[in-house]
Structure 1
């Protein structure tokens, strides 16, 4: 415990965020993560076991629309600030306090709360009786993103990850737009592109890994452990998404083709049997 305390004290946080809620002390963020895990994996399922699923459709619509708007704002704000500040690929950390830089820092700080609010997504699954949606991929992805967003923001390690952050927020605009439209039954026939959302996320992770690989070949002022953690987390999540895509789309499509071929073969055999009689 003393070792962990010493390591924590040795980690200098971004002075521009000192005193802001959730930043100085790790306990609140870890408390949120632990509370989330307890509810979606234990308390929530037990509570809903003998209850009728709740109707969360209206709340889900508001939540999904909020995600679309806040993610769009994040993409716009980060891109504008990076353009005006000439922040490039592999940008080293800094502690500037000019108005435009602080606008970027404030945006990233708000985005931490956005990623925490993503956890509501899982809570809605639990309350609506869709516990099967609470997969290992889903839970790990949410927890890893919240923790890394908090840590990298606190330690001023986010500059090199800004391209990936913008990319991810952009994907969220598309993803939550789909979820929002899916709450309206008349729109469902037009939402044939669901499986392409998963492929879009996989492409996103591949791009992130390529960006991370490039960072190792330029002189960046970030701890190697931070770079390795980012690359490792993205790689693990990408593998889980690939596994999900293969299992739910490629394998199922193959099974349907095999079933169709089997049915056609059986129908042909029946016709031949009728002809022979």
Structure 2
């Protein structure tokens, strides 16, 4: 085991125990302090724990207009993030396979960093999804998968923007923001009333797209580690490992919800 003051190396693998945060994003809002994430997570988990108890005393709210506006705004924000990452990464001729994170203040490098900061902020704004479930008494949707997903994505995105706000980080962020354009587009359409429902038959394929995202993410992270990409072994390993429980949880959700539906149709 070797330590150079910036990171700790075990064999050929480096871990960020002493690595300095990226100086470009270090002082950006909700990035610098180590207390940002614990405080936000505590607020979120308290909402999940006590919110249903408080709202159960009252009738469920419809909230169609706020839900539509939030979903549309999130779809547009993710479209902005995805477009910024795509344009800037293509302009800089970034490699999809392996792109080291270099401290550069060039305009397009900073556009990538800014897009990834907004990507992190979007994960905080997504807490509103949970609040809508609670206020509308959608207890079934307030599942372990939902809470785990929102809690852990906040942590991962904070790590990205604090230590690796450019480089290969653009790949999973661009992929995730693309999926969220479609996902929030579906949410916005779903609250427009029963006349729209017949046109939302593609919901199951949205879950399939999420599973494809996690599969690609796992394979992509594995190839970063195998080829020894200078992007950072520690974050590649963490990102790859993070995909595994999502593949299991979303796969189980898909099987429980859509296999049962298919079997019911066959029985009829």
Mark yes or no: TM-score above 0.5: yes
Query: In the aligned structure 2, how far is the partner of 1:158 from the partner of 1:82?
Result: 9
Give the conservation status (yes or no) of the 8 Å contact 2:79–2:177. Answer: yes
Name the residue aligned to 1:247: 256
Give the conservation status (yes or no) of the 8 Å contact 1:92–1:159. Answer: yes
State yes or no: 1:87 paired with 2:94.
yes
RMSD: 1.8
Query: In the aligned structure 2, how far is the partner of 1:196 from the partner of 1:257?
Result: 19
State yes or no: 1:164 paired with 2:196.
no
Name the residue aligned to 2:51: 44
Query: In the aligned structure 1, how far is the partner of 2:17 from the partner of 2:226?
Result: 30
Tell me by how many angstroms 1:142 deviates. Answer: 1.0
**Local SS of the residue matching 2:226:** coil
**Local SS of the residue matching 1:164:** helix
State yes or no: 1:230 paired with 2:239.
yes
Structure 1 residues 215, 156: closer, same or farther in 2, change over 3 A?
same
Structure showing greater Rg? 1
Give the conservation status (yes or no) of the 8 Å contact 2:102–2:166. Answer: no
Give the conservation status (yes or no) of the 8 Å contact 2:81–2:115. Answer: yes
> In terms of mean alpha carbon deviation, does 151-160 or 163-172 score higher?
151-160
Q: TM-score, normalised by structure 1?
A: 0.86
Structure 1 residues 43, 222: closer, same or farther in 2, change over 3 A?
same
The equivalent position to 1:112 in structure 2, one of 96, 109, 120, is: 120
Paired residue total: 252
State yes or no: 1:19 paired with 2:9.
no
Give the conservation status (yes or no) of the 8 Å contact 2:113–2:165. Answer: no
State yes or no: 1:205 paired with 2:214.
yes
**Local SS of the residue matching 1:126:** helix
Cα shift readout 1:203-252 (whole Å, capped 9, x = no counterpart): 11111112112112223224433222111111111110000000111134
Give the conservation status (yes or no) of the 8 Å contact 1:118–1:142. Answer: yes
Name the residue aligned to 1:269: none
Query: In the aligned structure 2, how far is the partner of 1:11 from the partner of 1:118?
Result: 29
Name the residue aligned to 2:6: none
Name the residue aligned to 1:187: 196
Structure 1 portions without partners, runs of 5+ = 1-6, 261-277
Structure 1 residues 35, 112: closer, same or farther in 2, change over 3 A?
same
**Local SS of the residue matching 1:97:** coil
Cα shift readout 1:253-272 (whole Å, capped 9, x = no counterpart): 224534x3xxxxxxxxxxxx
State yes or no: 1:60 paired with 2:67.
yes
Tell me by how many angstroms 1:38 deviates. Answer: 1.3
Structure (1/2) with the larger helix percentage: 1
Q: TM-score, normalised by structure 2?
A: 0.89
Structure 1 residues 9, 207: closer, same or farther in 2, change over 3 A?
closer
Give the conservation status (yes or no) of the 8 Å contact 1:157–1:222. Answer: no
**Local SS of the residue matching 1:220:** coil
Query: In the aligned structure 2, how far is the partner of 1:255 from the partner of 1:107?
Result: 44
